[in-house]
Amino acid sequence: MQRRPFLQFAGLGAIALASAAASLPAMAQASGPFKIGLILPMTGQQASTGRQIEAAARLYMAQNGDTVAGRKVELIVKDDVATPDVTKRLAQELIVNDKVNVIAGFGVTPAALAAAPLATQAKVPQVVMAAATSSITEASPFIVRSSFTLPQVSVAMGDWAPKNGIKSVVTLVADYGPGNDAEKFFTERFALNGGKVVDKLRVPLRNPDFAPFLQKVRDAKPDALFVFVPSGAGAAVMKQFLERGLDKAGIKLIATGDVTDDDQLNDMGEGALGVVTTHHYSAAHPSALNKKFVEAFEKANKGMRPNFMAVGGYDGMRIIYEALKATGGKGDGQALLDKMKGQVFESPRGQVLIDAQTRDIVQDVYLRKVEKKDGKLYNVEFDVLKAVKDPGKAK
Ligand code: PHB
């Protein structure tokens, strides 16, 4: 029951792929332009993710040049509307017709999973810049992830909350892969620390109406509500939380940083002040590199503030560029993949590592509180867990 929507997506993909996969020899080009097929939701409910990642990828190219190891780098952006059937078709067209060297992007988990068998079959690296269900990296040995995982950030909240007076919680998550991960890993850690999860609520991914769920939370009167919804849906949760007076009823809002997304946070209003979240990136991260990144991003995009999706896209481009350099400009998929594994570098989020075994990202996870700085709302970091591996892998 719990995993049904997730399996539905996977099942659809598997049937449709059986025929496609057989006709995919390795065909990436070894000369001419080096092509990156960037598949993103540019329209629909997840469009802010596409907008952020495309802007970040273009910024990376503007800052680092569009010729690497003698090869011109070409970015081909395609809109999959976060719909797995479309993702799969676009990935196939990019691999077969455009002969791309890398596929990248993937705004949601079902999209990343739909493309995975094609990456395996064609031996084309798949750089997942957004989607964050733990199991994604296991769907293909050609997947490398530059975003994060929900277990990585949810466990940190399961430790923080009980130490800060929160003994009872209701969880509210989007009902698919990353939501299920957030619910499971938060709940397990919170319970281990003596906390009690009194109810677990799941809202549909498509066109969610949070109101009836929040009414249930109000009636249950927990110390706090723990939320995961994907980037772009956080403002609606915040609005409904305040409109239903949950804050006035003494219920705290705690969440993964997807809810206080930098793309929307400044428009959420003063009601968001004080909300504590755990995540791997804040536009307010106080490093010199991040200050430069935020300034350049805002300048290139009419003041748009970069969010965690932008950083996933920016670092994903770095991983591709450095692998291309290290292979001396060869477009060979296996050689590129080998040079993506084990990269260590300073990201605008802090120090990161691409774990050579899991191909997943190891990174710092921050405790943050919404505060006003220079008249604007930011997630201000107040504590950090260093070098966190995805806890979802330790099965
Ligand atoms: C996902 O679908 O994996 C996903 C999307 C948006 C997020 C986090 C995870 O903010």
Question: Is ligand 1 within 6 A of the CB of residue 178?
Answer: yes
Give the CA angle between residues 108, 114, 119 to the nearest 5°: 110
Q: Which amino acid is at 164?
A: N
Residues 178-190 have a mean pLDDT of: 98
- φ, ψ (nearest 5 deg) of residue 37: -90, 110
φ, ψ dihedrals at 57, nearest 5°? -65, -40
Q: Whose CA is nearest to atom 3 of ligand 1?
A: 131
Please state at what angle helix 288-300 crosses helix 308-326, rounded to 10 degrees. 100
Residue located nearest, by CA, to atom 8 of ligand 1: 230
Q: Best substitution site from 149, 258, 278 to test ligand 1's pocket, by max atoms within 8 Å of Cβ?
A: 258
Residue nearest to atom 6 of ligand 1 (CA): 230
Q: Tell me if 231 sits within 8 A of 256, measured CB to CB.
A: no
Is there an atom of ligand 1 within 6 Å of 257 CB? no
Phi, psi of 48, rounded to the nearest 5 degrees: -65, -30
In terms of pLDDT, which residue wins out, 149 or 20? 149
Q: For residue 149, what are the CA distances in angstroms to 140, 177, 236, 297?
A: 16, 11, 23, 24
* DSSP annotation string for 35-47: EEEEEE--SSTTH
Give me the pLDDT at residue 363, please.
98
Say if CB 115 and CB 103 are below 8 A apart: yes
Q: Kindly indicate the confidence band of residue 366, based on its pLDDT and cuts at 50, 70 and 90.
A: very high
Cβ pair 218, 187 in contact under 8 A: no
The residue to which tokens 């705290």 are assigned: 252
Q: How far is the CA of 209 from the centre of ligand 1 (A)?
A: 18
Q: Does the C-beta of 133 come closer than 6 Å to ligand 1?
A: yes
State residue 142's pLDDT score.
98
Distance CA 387, CA 111 (A): 27
CA of 300 to the centre of ligand 1 (A): 25
Gap from CA of 110 to ligand 1 centroid (Å) = 10
Structure tokens at 71: 């090869």
In testing the pocket of ligand 1, which one of 51, 52, 87, 109 has its CB within 8 Å of the most ligand atoms?
A: 109
Report d(CA 165, CA 89) in Å as an integer.
49
**361: β partners:** 354
- Closest residue to atom 7 of ligand 1, CA basis: 230
pLDDT digits (tens, 9 = 90+) for 99-119: 999 999 999 999 999 999 999
Ligand 1 site, residue 109, Cβ cutoff 6 A = yes
Q: What is the pLDDT of residue 206?
A: 87
Pocket test for ligand 1, best of 108, 128, 259 (most atoms within 8 A of CB): 108
In terms of C-beta density within 10 A (0-12 exposed, 13-18 middle, 19 or more buried), how is residue 99 classed? middle
pLDDT at position 28: 64
Give every strand in the sheet of 143-145, ordered side by side: 67-68, 71-79, 34-40, 102-105, 126-128, 143-145
Mean pLDDT over residues 198-208, rounded? 94
- Rounded to the nearest whole angstrom, what is the distance from the C-alpha of residue 177 to the centroid of ligand 1? 9
Phi-psi category of residue 194: left, alpha or beta, with phi > 0 → left and psi -120 to 50 → alpha: left
- Whether ligand 1 lies within 6 angstroms of the CB of 149 is answered as no
- What pLDDT band is residue 208 in, cutting at 50, 70 and 90? confident
Amino acid letter, 287: S
Task: From the CA of 261, give the closest atom in ligand 1.
Answer: 10
Could you give the percent of the chain with pLDDT greater than 70? 92
Computed over every residue of the chain, the mean pLDDT equals 93
Q: What is the pLDDT of residue 207?
A: 83
Q: Is the predicted pLDDT of residue 146 greater than 50, yes or no?
A: yes
High-pLDDT (> 90) share of the chain, %: 90
CA distance 153 to 251: 21
Question: Would you state the pLDDT for residue 31?
Answer: 78
Q: Ligand 1 in contact with 125 (CB < 6 A)?
A: no
Nearest atom in ligand 1 to the alpha carbon of residue 107 is 5
Residue 70 has pLDDT above 60, yes or no: yes
**What stretches of the chain show up as alpha helix (H) in DSSP?**
4-22, 47-64, 84-96, 109-122, 150-163, 177-192, 211-220, 234-243, 288-300, 308-326, 333-340
Flag whether pLDDT at 16 surpasses 60: no
Q: What is the pTM of this model?
A: 0.93
Q: Compute, in angstroms, the gap from residue 230 CA to the centroid of ligand 1.
A: 5
Q: Is the distance from the beta carbon of residue 229 to the nearest atom of ligand 1 less than 6 Å?
A: no
Per-residue pLDDT tens digits for 250-297: 999 999 999 999 999 999 999 999 999 999 999 999 999 999 999 999
Q: Is the distance from the beta carbon of residue 262 to the nearest atom of ligand 1 less than 6 Å?
A: no
- Decide: 203 and 175 in contact? Cβ < 8 Å: yes
Judged by DSSP in three states, 105 sits in: strand
* Ligand 1: centre distance to CA 99 (Å): 28
pLDDT tens-digit readout, 22-36: 455 556 666 799 999
Which contacts qualify for 182-187: CB closer than 8 Å, 24 or more apart? 182/150, 182/151, 182/153, 182/154, 182/228, 182/256, 183/228, 184/151, 185/150, 185/151, 185/154, 185/155, 185/158, 185/391, 185/392, 186/154, 186/155, 186/157, 186/158, 186/226, 187/158
Nearest CA to ligand 1 atom 2: 108
Tell how far the Cα of 383 is from the centroid of ligand 1, in angstroms. Answer: 24
